Amino acid sequence: MTIIEVDEYQTIRVPGLRPSPADRDLAFSPELRKRVELRWLADGDLEITASSHVGVVSLDCASIHIKPKLVGRELAVLRMLDYASGLPALHHLETTRDLPGTGPHLRDLVCLLLTIECEALLRHGLRRDYVRREDSLPALRGRLLHDRQLLRRFGQLDRLECRFDEFDANILDNQLCAAALNLAARTSADETIRARARRAATEFSDLCPTAVVDHQLAAQTLTYHRHNEHYRQAHRWASLLLGHGGLADLYETSGPSGQAFLLDLNSLFEAFVTRLLEEAFHGTGIAVRTQPALKESVAYRDGRRYTTIMPDIQLTRGHGQTAWRRPVDVKYKLYTDRKIKPADLYQSFAYATALSRVGSNETPTAYILYASDRDTTPEEVILRRYDGSTAAQITALGLNVPSLIAALGTPQLMPALAGIRTAVTSGKPAPQITR
């Protein structure tokens, strides 16, 4: 199997690959084209155009590994995911460091962490619960279903239609783990991880033969309490493995062999920054609201809503019309060595103006937090009226992502959070120009 490594947002051409019909079908899949573009050119080369999604796409002719460039190694991506979710699930990192070679790719890391969590569940003993069942039995058990007995077995007494509760391990908590383990055992590229997942999947299947679940429905249905709280981390890796990629053939045991596991670093970086701000402003009286909808900001003159605008994050203090509000736009873009795109500036200026108060002496202000590979100095961009007065201002701050990831779980994180808090709340007034 040919392994092709591509950095995020990179375009490369690879000669000498002969795609199978399944590979061509996968390349034209609309769901995959949203994440990475694969094009077989007239001269036989494969052109790969990566976006902000990182992970692995497995073809019959090659395995494409899209590597994170700014964040660091694949393990750093999982550290971001771990921190953003608020679950300390990477306490098994020492195990991943002991793997031979350069280590597994992102999807195999998820397979490994899922397997480790499920092995811990097996050692602890799989949870059982009462499950309602209906069956035809030779003796009465539970409640007799009179209507069904009359319709199906009128005049027969050798079999009884019963409804009963059975204390069983074949419940949703275990079914979700079993489904993900079966997928990991079939599709992991690392032989050691694949064998380890297969052993765990076999033990789960002995007690939980039902291993076909709707992971989206499971995520909405499952609630955690003292009896199943220890399943939470295994469920997170299981949902991540089953849910990302979005390709139907990811769940097939036969047919097209193309498979994809891709994480969107745009969404992940936004969740990561949100958690950073929540910790930075904890105890300060400033609340961090995610995706607040400004429904009435853009409307027709008669009051009818035209559209809804939605900042990534809104910082608020106080209540009602006198509350202090600041919009924050999160961008996973390398603005360290280049100017912010005008479209991003216009968007933030609109947010700042929409959240400003009439009669307030404060200049409408917004913040853009973007990803950086080093420490940066906050920059201020000002929107001026024709007479030179300030209409709105934006503070752009680059977050040193590698440094922040390295500081997670250490005392060094607190100074970094303090720096973010100071930069966002400094509130320097914009200079005025008199014409």
| pLDDT for res 88 | 62
Output 296 or 289, whichever has higher pLDDT. Answer: 289
pTM over 0.85: no
| pLDDT for res 87 | 63
244 has pLDDT over 80: no
pLDDT band at residue 346 under the 50/70/90 scheme: very high
Q: What's the chain's average pLDDT?
A: 83
Ordered by start, the domain boundaries in the chain are: 1-68+249-263, 71-128+169-243, 129-168, 281-425
| pLDDT for res 256 | 33
Q: CA dihedral in degrees (96, 99, 104, 110; nearest 10)?
A: -30
Task: Give the pLDDT confidence of 290-325 residue by residue, as tens digits.
Answer: 888 888 888 898 888 898 889 999 999 887 667 788
247 has pLDDT over 50: no
Contact 108, 189 (CB under 8 A): yes
| pLDDT for res 427 | 56
* CA-to-CA dists, residue 33 to 41, 53, 65, 251, 414, angstroms: 16, 11, 16, 19, 40
| pLDDT for res 381 | 92
Between CA 381 and CA 365 the distance in angstroms is: 10
| pLDDT for res 74 | 78
Task: Give the pLDDT confidence of 120-172 residue by residue, as tens digits.
Answer: 999 988 999 888 888 898 998 888 888 888 888 888 888 889 988 888 888 88
Determine the average pLDDT of the residues in 363-376: 90
